[in-house]
Every structure is written in C-alpha cells, then in structure tokens.
Amino acid sequence: MEKSDKIVENFMKIKKVDGFFITMPGDLSMGVNDIEWKLDGDFFFDKEFELEEFKARLCLTFESYCGEECQIETYEERQNQIDIEIERQC
C-alpha cells in the first residue's frame, strides 16, 4: 500500500464530533428543570475509545464543578435519537 493510500485510510477513520450536550437532570417533582450546557466546536478522535474517554472526563469535570451527576452526548448522538423518534411516529 502506498504512503498516500495509508494516509487517506487513516484520515477516513478519524471521527469528527461537532459538539457535546452536557445535561444535569433536574427533579420535576420539586420544580427543578434539567440544566444543559453546549460545548460547540469541531472535535476529532482517532479511535472510538478516545471519544468515550473524553466524554467520561468531561462528565467528571462537570460533576466535580456542579456536585451532581451529569450525562454527556454528542450532537450527532442527540440527532440520531431525534431521527429514531421521528421514524417511530411515521
């Protein structure tokens, strides 16, 4: 395999993420809504486990800052869930 083919192959494996939603669940029974932050930007990960590790560390950062558990999902994961719900309704 030529060097340029190898570079292209490795480039195609890179996962691009457009951003993250950081959600801290509220308690609607107590009148507390969810809190959500958006982390915008282009993020690139060579391997899936690097993305998962980044999400875990991001979650730990927000949990340490806010003192509550949080959930992290990429913009793409959220859009995929929306698309699934739309398909179910059709």
Give the pair of three-digit tokens for residue 19: 């951003």
Which residues is 22 bridged to in the sheet? Answer: 37, 72
Give the pair of three-digit tokens for residue 11: 């480039």
Residue 90 C-beta-side C-alpha neighbours within 13 Å: 6
pTM beyond cutoff 0.85: no
pLDDT in tens, 45-72: 999 999 999 999 999 999 998 888 999 9
Rounded Cα gap, residues 21 and 39, in angstroms: 6
